[in-house]
Amino acid sequence: MESYNYLKSLHLIFVITWFAGLFYIVRLFVYQIEAASKPSPEKEILQKQYKIMTYRLWYIITWPSAVLAILFAISLLYLMPEWLSQPWMHVKLGFVFLLILYQLKCQQIFSQLQRDEVKYTSNFMRLWNEGATIILFAVVFLVILKNALDWIYGVVGIIAFSVLIMLGFRFYKRIREKNNS
């Protein structure tokens, strides 16, 4: 069972680096989008630098971390197949699926920005950045509380947390707009 603890530790390490990559990549998207509206030569200089930064983050940290986190998770499920019969694990795997979809959408945005295609606003990206945060909160509470989690309170809690994030986003946007005027 010692291998279980090593696998669990490695899984956790790569989940952390995966989320770190997802949090930072979207922040870099915000900067890339805002750089696109700068005057020359500042625009070209910033875009070139952000492309390098996002490329390295995406392909050296985020994608490898995602793949390794998933591989170690599969290894853990192989060692502990009884987890697959537990309801909390079904919900967790649902959130992991959402996280993978989130990453794939980030891949699409990354590819567009690498081609200098700006299809989203920086405000949209700031809000999009909270998607990974909501998934992280849900998964951590789910894994820690497992069956003790009251599903109704959990759903209400995630909705309330999402509303708080939206309110915080609007408040921050007003402050930024006030400071820019």
CB of 133 within 8 A of CB of 165? yes
CB of 65 within 8 A of CB of 21? yes
Confirm or deny that 90 is annotated as ligand binding: no
Helix ranges, the chain (H): 2-35, 42-56, 63-79, 87-114, 122-145, 151-180
Q: What is the token pair recorded at 154?
A: 């959990």
User: Who's near 175: CB < 8 A, 6+ residues apart?
Assistant: none
**What angle, rounded to 10 degrees, do the helices at 122-145 and 2-35 form?**
170
Confirm or deny that 11 is annotated as ligand binding: yes
- Cα(174)–Cα(153) distance, integer angstroms: 31
Binding positions for heme: 11, 92
Binding positions: 11, 92
